[in-house]
Amino acid sequence: MLDEIDARLLSSLQKDAHLTSHELGERLHLSASQAGRRRQRLEESGIIQGYTARLDPVKLGLNVQGFVQVHLGTHGPDHSASFARLLATRQEIVSAWTMTGDADYLLRVYCDDLPSLNRLIHAVLLPHPAVSKVHSQIVMDQLKRDGPLPT
């Protein structure tokens, strides 16, 4: 169970994962060793799953962000597993969800340009035997960045 100090620690780390135990301790009004033990406990319990760097996609040449809805024509464990393996092989697919509603999957993609997105859809996704159709939406502007989780 998380207490109020754990929630503040998680909030602080989501804003700056580079904080040292000393800096966390100052923010939480704890000693550096107490803050470090709390962080370690949250890591070991799996609440903190890891630390990553947030990159600027445009500076990396990824000028097109999109969402792709995938509709399967054939459902079943083998087709789902095969499609999941396909998703895992593609770097431009940065996240994927199974969905309720009309589409079976929602993919978030980053591509260099529109021809790259077109190739992903027509040469990778649509040829999969379980896929019946896709519907893509191109992001014009992102009004809010992926933010920290509420703690």
34 and 66 within one domain: no
In a domain, 50, yes or no: no
Instruction: Write the pLDDT tens digit of every residue in 36-95.
Output: 999 999 999 999 999 999 999 999 999 999 999 999 998 889 999 999 999 999 999 999
| Whole-prediction pTM | 0.87
In a domain, 124, yes or no: yes
- What is the domain count for the chain? 2
Model pLDDT, residue 59 = 97
pLDDT band at 1 (very low <50, low <70, confident <90, very high): confident
In a domain, 52, yes or no: no
Segments forming the whole domain that contains residue 26: 4-44
89 and 123 within one domain: yes
Crossing angle for the helix pair 32-44 and 4-15, to the nearest 10 degrees: 80
62 and 29 within one domain: no
77 and 123 within one domain: yes
CA distances in angstroms from 80 to 10, 75, 85, 88, 107, listed in the order given: 35, 7, 9, 12, 14
Q: What average pLDDT does this structure show over 111-136?
A: 98
In a domain, 146, yes or no: no
In a domain, 151, yes or no: no
Model pLDDT, residue 121 = 98
Model pLDDT, residue 75 = 87
In a domain, 88, yes or no: yes
Query: How far, in Å, CA of 60 to CA of 132, rounded?
Result: 32
